[in-house]
Every structure is written in structure tokens, then in C-alpha cells.
Amino acid sequence: MDSGQVQQAFDGLHERLSRDSRDVDACLLMVACGLRLGQLHHVHAAFQKLLALDDAPQRWLAQLGEFAAQLDAGGFRPLAQSWLHEVKALASRYGCALPDPLPLPAHLATERHDPVLGRTLKRYPPFEGASYIYAIDVAGTCNLRCPSCPVGNMRDVGKPTGLMSLDVFKAIVAKIATDQPATSPIIHLFNWGEPLLHPQLADMVLAVRQRGWRSYISTTLNVARGLDALVIARPALIKVSISGDTAQTNEVTHARSRTDRVLAHLRLLSELLSLHQSDVPEQARTRVVLAFHEYKHNGECGQRLRAMAAELGFEFNSSLAVLQPVEKNIDVVMNRATPVVQQVVELMEMSPRQISALNRMRRSGQFDCESRFNMTAINFDGSVSLCCNTYSPALEIHPNFLQASHQTLEAKKYQHGFCKTCMSNGFHYSVNDQLPPVAWGQDGA
């Protein structure tokens, strides 16, 4: 069945269950259709109903693995884990193979007290990476002026710009090795800047790889200088962000981008990977992800970019565009948005107000923020930001990473009052740990 037929069947099942909530066959079909359509709250409710009915689990346990994987990919990791834990005994009894719940990495405590909130928050296996992450903005500047990014929408805050020296970078890496928040931390060589502007980016990648760590690059690929050396240095990941495959789409929200240049550079990157990494073991090659930012004006570009990524041997990821930094999201909710920000918000499929309302509705408030408990953000000048989602100089927590212990920086994060403001508005990067309850026959169910 195509998606339209699945949706039609799904609607019919919903009506059927509203008349008889104990209809096991309808519940099973609801699970199948809900998984196809991504209607996870309905799948969640159907599985709850199946458990309550005590129907033979072998009829539906095999689908729980897919359900848990979709929950996990959608950010509902604790809920995915709880489902897997709850059915573990049943799966064993009926011989169904299910994935094990993801364990909390050894470097993380299971919880942390927040003195500002006045309560203890739980941790979960981080969604961004299994190890501790350092976001090091080696190029504290960018050649684009994207209105959804602070480089484009916060030009007036007086944030310094520049490039981190290779010596300072190596000193930071050495300190990370001494601090050792995790055995093999992940190093992001970006935050708000364009890393390909840095003439020694390849040397930085090599400095990370020589320690046996992984480095990630995020770029708009308007710049190709040093791309050959970068591919030879072999970062673990290169993510290329794009808003379309035409000037009329991409250059609206990737302001100052040259789309023809980006598309040519994507092909060049594929050629360089074939030239320099074809003899490298597959698990050690650089992954490339073409990351498409979905707006109201560019929906028709997604399938073409997906096809292009497949042709070039790249992965493809499509996600709704979001506003950054977190300060600007709060401005929108508080009716303080500038005209530039308001214009880009009107292009978004989901506005900051909608995101705030949705997150506040479906989150339990029991879990810590991943941007805080598993990441440290370092600016090009060595100063440390409250988190990777903040931009204002006023939200920096230390002037020099090299002069602050890991414990000191962690304490400063948890003592900062802005986190309470962010969390109260639902903008913290926390797994969406609970879904809204669904009762068959209720409005919106």
C-alpha cells in the first residue's frame, strides 16, 4: 500500500477501536500502520492495549524492535528502553529477538542535582554520541549570514571573531586528554563558524586522530580550500548542510551561499574520497551526510537531494529547520523577535512557539539536558560557552578553557540561571521522555 492507502486504513482502524477498544486484530493492524506513518503515540497506545489484553505476545513482540528503534531515533530513548525492559521476559519466553536497552555510558553518573531548579535530574544514553563531546569552534567566523543562525541574526552582540591557532588547539586537546571526561571523547571542530575557513583544519583533524579519537566537521561547503588535505586527514564525519538544490531555495535561508558552487563541491568531495580513501578499511573511512533543512519553501528539493546523495555515495538526512541560538527562540516566545528572526520563523514548518508548547506538554521534566551533561562548547579564543546552543558573550562561563578544570566547568553549568529559563520554555536538548497518553475515542487520539 502507498502512504495514502495506509493513512486511509489507519483512520478506519481508529474508528473501529473507538467502538471496541478490545479488538486485538485492530490493535495489531494499528501498530503496523502507525509504524509506517510514524504515528508513535498511537503505536504506544496500541501496545499498551495489547499488554492489558494479555493477547499472545508472539503475535506482536517482533514489531517492538522496530517501535523501539523509531522511538529512539525520534528522541524518546528512555521510553524505548522502558518498553524493551518491560517485554524482555515475554520476548525470552516466546523466543523473539529484541535489541537490548542501551546502557548509560560509563563516563556519566545516572543523575545530577540541579541547585537552581532545586531537584535531581536523571541522565539517559546520549543521543548525539556515546562518548563525551567537545564542540571546539576552530573558526569563529563564517562566510554566510543565515538568518536562522546567530552569525546572521545576532550581528550586534559584539562577539569576537577569528581563527584558533594550531598551538592553542593542540593545547586544548592535550588538556582534554588529561581531564579525561571519557576514554575517547568526540571532537566537533565547529559550532557557529565555518571550519573550512581554517587553513590548518587538516592538521587539527590529524591531531585528534593521532590520539585515537573521532573528529566531526559541519560545513555549508561553499569553501573547498583544503578539501583535499581534509579528506586525506580522515575526519570521522563531514556533515554538509543545505536548504535546497536551487538558488531560489537554498540561498533564501543559507544567505550568501552559492548553490552552484556547493553542488560542484559535493561532487568534488565524492571524487576526493574515492581517490584518497578507497584503500582505507570501510569502518575507518569518512562518513559524509548531506543534511537537508526543511522549510515551507523548499519541500520539493528533498527527493532530488536524496537522489544526489545516493549517487555520490553519501548518507542523507532531512530534518525540520530550527532557529538558533536558544536565546532567539526565547525572544520569539516572549514576543521580542527582531524582523530578521520573524521573517525566517515564518518560513519554518514548526515555529519556536510550537516547539516550546509541544516539548512542555510531552516532557516529564525528570531528565537532564544533553547539551549540558555530555558536551562542552569552546570558542575560537578559548572561552567556554554555557552550552553549544548559546551564543551571547554574556552566557559564557569561563574566559579560558585551559585554566579551568573539567569539574569547575561542570559546576558552572549547573549553577547558571539561564538553564532554568531554557528548560521552563522547553528548549533544552533533552530526550522527549514521555508521550502524551492516548485513550481511544477521545478527541485528538
H or E stretch covering 188: strand 186-188
- E strands, 99-180, are 111-114, 119-122, 133-136
Please check the confidence at residue 118 and state whether its pLDDT lies above 50: yes
CA distance 31 to 62: 11
Cβ neighbourhood burial of 340 (10 Å; 0-12, 13-18, 19+): middle
User: Is 440's pLDDT higher than 50?
Assistant: no
- Render pLDDT for 338-390 as a digit per residue (tens, 0 to 9): 999 999 999 999 999 999 998 998 888 889 999 999 999 999 999 999 999 99
Predicted confidence at residue 362, as pLDDT, reads: 81
In contact, 144 and 196? CB cutoff 8 Å? no
What 3-state class would DSSP assign to 392?
coil
Ranges assigned E (strand) in 304-389 = 315-320, 375-378, 384-385
Residue 442 has pLDDT above 60, yes or no: no
- Provide the pLDDT for residue 107: 95
pLDDT at 334 over 80: yes
pLDDT for res 270: 98
Question: What 8-state DSSP symbol labels residue 321?
Answer: -
Burial (CB count within 10 angstroms: exposed 0-12, middle 13-18, buried 19+), residue 7: middle
pLDDT at 101: 66
Which H or E element spans position 170?
A: helix 166-179
Q: 441: helix, coil or strand?
A: coil
SS3 174: helix
Which among 400, 406, 405 is positioned nearest to 384, based on CA atoms?
A: 400
Q: Please tell me the predicted confidence (pLDDT) of residue 441.
A: 41
Nearest to 427 by CA among 318, 322, 307, 273: 322
> What pLDDT was estimated at residue 97?
67
Of 72, 207, 208, give the one whose Cα is nearest residue 128: 72
Q: Which residues contact 54 (CB under 8 A, 6 or more apart)?
A: none
**CA distances (Å), origin 231, targets 117, 269, 270, 282, 328:** 45, 8, 10, 14, 35
- What residues are paired with 218 via a beta bridge? 239
Q: Which three cell numbers stand for residue 216?
A: 566531526
State the amino acid at position 284 in one-letter form. A
Planar angle of CA 130, 357, 134, nearest 5 degrees: 25
| pLDDT tens string 394-407 | 999 999 999 999 99
User: Would you state the pLDDT for residue 184?
Assistant: 95
For residue 221, count CB atoms less than 10 angstroms from its CB and return exposed for 0-12, middle for 13-18, buried for 19 or more. buried
Q: What is the residue extent of each domain of the chain?
A: 3-94, 133-424
* For residue 62, pLDDT beyond 80: no
Question: Alpha-carbon distance 217 to 230, whole Å?
Answer: 10
Average pLDDT score, the chain: 91
**CA 329, CA 322: separation in Å to the nearest integer?**
9
Tell me the average pLDDT across 36-43: 84
| Span 164-192, pLDDT tens digits | 999 999 999 999 999 999 999 999 999 99
Please check the confidence at residue 44 and state whether its pLDDT lies above 60: yes
Residue range 133-424 forms a domain whose CATH class is alpha beta
Q: How many CB atoms lie within 10 A of CB 183?
A: 12
Place of cell 492489558: 52
Residue 444 pLDDT level (bands cut at 50, 70, 90): very low
What pLDDT score was predicted for residue 443?
36
Residue 99 pLDDT grade (very low, low, confident, very high; cuts 50, 70, 90): low
Distance CA 144, CA 256 (A): 5
Position 199 pLDDT exceeds 90:
yes
Report in angstroms the alpha-carbon separations of 374 from 127, 131, 247, 420. Answer: 10, 8, 37, 18
367 forms beta bridges with 122
